[in-house]
């Protein structure tokens, strides 16, 4: 089964490819030659994920899933949330985003936060959602060079290391994206047995 992952982010594609059963061929927007950026104009993670999966299904008639992830920091009333990728204004500038977040948290005692991933799956024109959450805290400076996004400043609950210091296998097992994708994969295995 060919399944489109509505993303241009090759880091995400690599992360997810490791989780998929062998009968599913994962195809990214880049693989299909789709260069346009699908607008994320919704004010929720669910809404943005659905916009992306629906776009590919409607325009290319291919089964598709898309995700949207946000980092929600308690002391900042859930910021950056749906604006996580563009928190500092520049689209996907991870270091600027982390610097802004660390600055905004400088005088805060409560550093608890959670990552939330929502996946929207559109196989036949009907949308299903899968969610994954991981709780933890924002540390005071960047640590580690693995991962992407806010990984160097997020330490998951029960670990001494940040997401950027942990091996990918562990991050996939305990992380928000891994949890959401395992629900997606269970659904695909149960309802769309691969041949």
Which residues are known to be catalytic?
68
Contact 1, 24 (CB under 8 A): yes
Helices 176-191 & 10-17 angle (0-180, nearest 10): 60
Instruction: For residue 129, give the nearest of 21, 16, 50 by alpha carbon.
Output: 50
Alpha-carbon torsion, ordered 134, 73, 147, 8, to 10 deg: 100
């Amino acid at each position: 089964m060919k399944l489109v992952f509505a993303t241009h982010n090759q880091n995400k594609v690599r992360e997810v490819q490791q989780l998929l059963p062998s009968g599913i061929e994962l195809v990214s927007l880049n693989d299909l030659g789709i260069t346009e950026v699908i607008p994320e104009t919704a004010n929720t993670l669910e809404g943005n994920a659905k916009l992306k999966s629906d776009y590919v299904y409607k325009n290319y008639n291919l089964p598709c899933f898309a995700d949207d992830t946000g980092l929600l920091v308690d002391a900042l009333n859930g910021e950056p949330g749906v604006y996580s990728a563009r928190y500092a204004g520049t689209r996907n500038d991870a270091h600027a985003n982390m610097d802004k977040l660390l600055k905004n948290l400088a005088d805060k005692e409560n550093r608890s936060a959670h990552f939330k991933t929502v996946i929207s799956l559109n196989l036949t024109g009907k949308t299903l959602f899968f969610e994954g959450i991981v709780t933890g805290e924002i540390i005071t400076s960047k640590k580690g060079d693995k991962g992407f996004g806010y990984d160097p400043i997020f330490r998951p609950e029960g670990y001494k290391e940040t997401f950027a210091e942990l091996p990918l296998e562990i991050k996939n097992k305990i992380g928000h994206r891994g949890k959401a994708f395992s629900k997606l994969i269970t659904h695909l295995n149960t309802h769309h047995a691969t041949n």
